């Protein structure tokens, strides 16, 4: 009888340990929107942008039950960035896609099924002009900017393996110029801006 009780206890402890090990990682897929603010510059350039929509793939590895490291890769479809200046008062539009590669430290707080969290880390934003009739200047080139990412949100657990995540993230980066800097056109603003990125997605724990 004692042996049976010992075996049952051992199995219970093993199952709990296995469950804990299974929950140390998760992967999530989210829908995103990049909202780039209007920006006036210290030069005479003004920048207007439309909202970009896309997706974000994230991986988290739990260091402790309340802290994790996260890696992200995101991409948007397309949006318009329009530059206005004294030399081009009607505006010059560039259609662009955006890629994000970022990493972060995540701190979580547990309240039953709700798990609020905050995060921050470095990022790289890649602005990729689309060379078609919507882009009004053919000299635009791909540009990568080193950025900072921060965010806050919550995860709602719908099962031991899945949760729904809602988050606001901010990406702080230089206003892109697409390498356009000539006597005819100069998109330099000497400004940084905060790109807002609301996110809604589903995560799978394993």
Residue 22: what pLDDT?
Answer: 54
**pLDDT tens digits along 155-164:** 999 999 999 9
Over range 116-132, report the average pLDDT.
96
Q: Please state the pTM of the whole predicted model.
A: 0.84
Residue 169: what pLDDT?
Answer: 97
**Where do the domains of the chain lie, and which CATH numbers do they carry?**
24-205 (2.40.160.20)
The CA–CA distances, whole Å, from 171 to 125, 127, 154, 197 equal: 9, 13, 18, 8
pLDDT class of 17 with cuts at 50, 70, 90: very low
Report the C-alpha gap between 118 and 155 in whole angstroms: 11
Q: Which residues contact 17 (CB under 8 A, 6 or more apart)?
A: none
Residue 26 has pLDDT above 80, yes or no: yes
For residues 97 and 78, the answer to whether their CB atoms sit within 8 Å is yes
* % of the chain residues with pLDDT over 70: 89
């Amino acid at each position: 009888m004692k042996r049976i009780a010992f075996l049952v206890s051992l199995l219970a402890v093993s199952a709990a340990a296995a469950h804990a090990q299974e929950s140390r990682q998760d992967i999530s897929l989210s829908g995103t929107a990049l909202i780039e603010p209007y920006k006036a510059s210290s030069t005479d350039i003004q920048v207007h942008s439309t909202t970009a929509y896309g997706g974000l793939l994230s991986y988290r590895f739990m260091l402790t039950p309340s802290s994790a490291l996260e890696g992200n890769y995101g991409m948007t479809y397309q949006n318009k960035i329009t530059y206005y200046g004294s030399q081009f008062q009607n505006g010059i539009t560039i259609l662009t896609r955006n890629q994000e590669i970022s990493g972060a430290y995540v701190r979580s707080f547990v309240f039953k099924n709700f798990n609020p969290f905050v995060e921050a880390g470095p990022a790289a934003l890649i602005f990729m002009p689309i060379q078609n009739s919507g882009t009004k200047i053919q000299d635009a080139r791909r540009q990568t900017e080193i950025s900072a990412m921060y965010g806050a949100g919550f995860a709602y657990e719908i099962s031991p393996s899945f949760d729904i995540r809602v988050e606001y993230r901010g990406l702080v980066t230089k206003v892109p110029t697409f390498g356009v800097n000539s006597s005819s056109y100069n998109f330099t603003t000497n400004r940084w801006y905060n790109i807002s990125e609301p996110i809604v997605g589903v995560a799978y724990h394993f």
